[in-house]
Amino acid sequence: MEDLVLDGCSLSLADLVLIARHGAHVSLDEDAIIRMKASRAVVERCVDEQHKRYGITTGFGKFCDVMISKEDNAVLQKNLIMSHACGQGKPLSVEVVRAMMALRANALAVGNSGIRPSVVQLLLDMLNTGVIPLVPEKGSLGASGDLAPLAHVALVMIGMGEAFYGGEKMSGKQALTLAGLKPVSLEAKEGLALINGTQAMTAIGALAVDSAMSLSKSATITGAMSLQALRGITDAFDPRIHTLRRQKGQQACAEEMRRLLEDSRFTTRQGDLRVQDAYTLRCIPQVHGACMDAIAYAKAVVENELNAVTDNPLIFPPMEAFLEGNTGRENGGEPGDIISGGNFHGEPIALAMDFLGIACAELADISERRIERLVNPNLSAGLPAFLTRNGGLNSGFMIVQYSAASLVSENKILAHPASVDSIPSSANQEDHVSMGTIAARKAASIIENSQRVVAMELMASCQALDIRAAEMGIGPVQDCLSPRTAAVYEVVRSAVSGLDGDRVMYPDIDAVFSLIADGTIADCVE
């Protein structure tokens, strides 16, 4: 695999997934190096001439009016990293931290942050050699960016903190040494450039969106499996119905349901067995489709943020510095602009992640109700109670539904939006914050819970189909299912056998969960 080149403007979600989850190597675009040198020259001129600019010749937060001498600037940057590394809780996963590192480097590559290219190169060298900082998952307010999480990344860059290397936890200094790397001494603005951004919430959010897209596909496939097990009615997916609603996600989901159910011998038409189905079957396009639209919205916001510059202040070199690579000092050139703003505020990601979490919670909610229909003999169109032939002696899928209900209830709590909360910080200088990182973490938790609920439904639907095919006497399950869902059934049955009597269920659930989490179920349908 060739290196992915970070240029600050073209990183895609697919690229980030390759870096974070599949270990793709990264390199720095040559033009990005020119841009970084140009903005660095503006910072150095500011320091030399002692212009009063936030975070370059002043302190941080409430201390924005305290001037810092040129001699103290290196100490200021080191102190910033040390004092801001206040993360709490369990470490973020290696894949999330890899995404954070790539995103921070990509933002710096735009060339408006005033950092030396050599500092960014160290960040990429760490990523490529597998030096992954230990970053606690909690402690960010989501403005000014993800200060605490990113400070833990920067700690390792200056030879402090802790890191994972070769699968082992060790000091950051030791990890750098084993990888053949040397720590960096930060200069003016560089500590701030490394930590003042939205890369923790965006990393968590981007990977959550990737998982949510796969979850959405798997949930619809699983819904089609359950509909067949319950002898559902296909008329509800008639394109004429969905065209009238004019909702894109709904129309796409209805089309997918028609495709998934084509040539099934289990499905019925309205009036064959009943006139219409319950909402959890009949309204799959309306519910799943709306969730698809929400996921698409979150994806669009995240994709914008992947190439965003989110630190403060921002450096704007004179145009000739970008075009010719000069510093702006030659021949009395213009010094460039240093402007304070608020791009670090995580509100766009916070709102998108809250929406994403709610949408994925709904996928689990409707999935759990389909599980109930499968196991409840009053609702299952003739299937035995809890999908076991010897009820009483055996409990079958009884507690599978309990577990799904528990996860759905947990999701309801997690779906409370984080973005509506704010708490002032830095002596009220930073008086409104986004809680975007909390929103992203919650969304990721909801998605995992939802993957597990859909896994339980998929197991239950396969069990119900085994029973249904035997009772109907119409041949092997695969021959009666639609061709596309037959492939899904075979994948599930290659991992988990049908339930004959009782057995320990959690390994089966975990196995099917893995098939959903790694995208196998979503990918096995053409």
Domain with CATH 1.10.275.10 in the chain: 4-197+318-335
The yes-or-no verdict on residue 328 having pLDDT over 80 is no
Amino acid at 265: R
Closest CA to 351 of 312, 410, 297, 306: 297
Structure tokens at 201: 């919430």
Across 14-28, 73-87, 349-363, least confident range: 73-87
Name the pTM for this structure: 0.95
Residues 63-83 have a mean pLDDT of 86
User: Is the separation of the CB atoms in 374 and 468 below 8 Å?
Assistant: no
Query: For the chain, where do the domains classified as CATH 1.20.200.10 start and end?
Result: 207-299+347-523
Q: Which two tokens stand for residue 32?
A: 């990005």
Give rounded-to-5 percent helix, strand, coil for the chain.
Answer: 60, 5, 35
Domain at 4-197+318-335: CATH code: 1.10.275.10
3-class DSSP state of 34: helix
54 is catalytic: yes
Check residue 427 and give its pLDDT: 78
Assess whether pLDDT exceeds 90 at residue 474: no
Collect all residues with Cβ–Cβ distance below 8 Å to 254 and sequence separation of at least 6.
237, 239, 241, 242, 285, 289
User: Residue 320 to residues 14, 38, 39, 43, 332: CA-CA distances in angstroms?
Assistant: 34, 9, 12, 16, 13
- The pLDDT, as a whole number, for residue 478 is 94
pLDDT the model gives residue 57: 84
- Whether the CB-CB separation of 155 and 173 falls below 8 Å is answered with no
CATH number for 207-299+347-523: choose from 1.10.10.10, 3.30.1280.10, 1.20.200.10, 3.30.390.30. Answer: 1.20.200.10
Q: 27 φ, ψ to 5°?
A: -140, 170
User: What is the pLDDT at residue 322?
Assistant: 54
Work out the pLDDT band at 197, boundaries 50, 70, 90: very high
Distance separating alpha carbons of residues 13 and 390, to the nearest angstrom:
49
What's the pLDDT score for residue 333? 47
86 backbone dihedrals φ, ψ, rounded to 5°:
-120, 25
Confidence grade of residue 331 (pLDDT, cut at 50, 70, 90): very low
Mean pLDDT of the chain: 94
Q: What is the pLDDT of residue 423?
A: 86
